[in-house]
Amino acid sequence: MQRTFPLLVVVLAACGVGERLPPPPSGVAAIAVAAVENKTGSKLVVSGDSYVARWIGRERRTVDDVLARELETTLRERGFSMGGSSAARLRVVLRRFEPDLPQLAYVTVALTATLADPDGTVRWSGERSTWLVSTAGSPSLEAAYDTAARTVARGLVDGWEPKR
């Protein structure tokens, strides 16, 4: 018992408190979602990249595309106006998006997100350096990418409410 206690303390300390994004911004009614920047060094293709997919006319989609679309959809569903010249711009930079191969149980994500007014004033900024996103049950890498991108988008704007 005495030998395992120090080991348990070390393990718990290493796990630490999970990274959290800062509280949602306030006073924002309209948001424009910028194109997601992929700085992972990987294409992160969800669909439409194979010869057969192109031949049958399947649209090429990447994690960047799915993430941006899901952000727009989620924010619109929460009541935000989308776009416009006076809208705050939400910018997401992906630095890591690595699947747990071959199990596909999770994708490790690292990103930075910033919401700034047109004049450059930052209203909100958040960073996650090791976000483990569950993709359990995904039958393929592409499905895991799609699931993780949608989960990340919803997680980024969790609790956000538009100015009334």
Q: Chain centroid to CA 98: how far?
A: 12
Going by pLDDT thresholds of 50, 70 and 90, the confidence category of residue 16 is: very low
0.95 surpassed by pTM? no
Burial class from Cβ neighbours inside 10 Å (0-12, 13-18, 19+) for residue 4 reads exposed
Going by pLDDT thresholds of 50, 70 and 90, the confidence category of residue 5 is: very low
Residue 60 vs residue 2, higher pLDDT: 60
Specify the 3-state DSSP secondary structure of 75: helix
For the domain 26-156, what is the CATH superfamily, name and number?
ABC-type transport auxiliary lipoprotein component (3.40.50.10610)
List beta partners, residue 131. Answer: 109
pLDDT digit string, tens, across residues 83-98: 988 999 999 999 999 9
Residue 1 vs residue 88, higher pLDDT: 88
Residue 147, pLDDT above cutoff 90 = yes
Domain ranges of the chain: 26-156
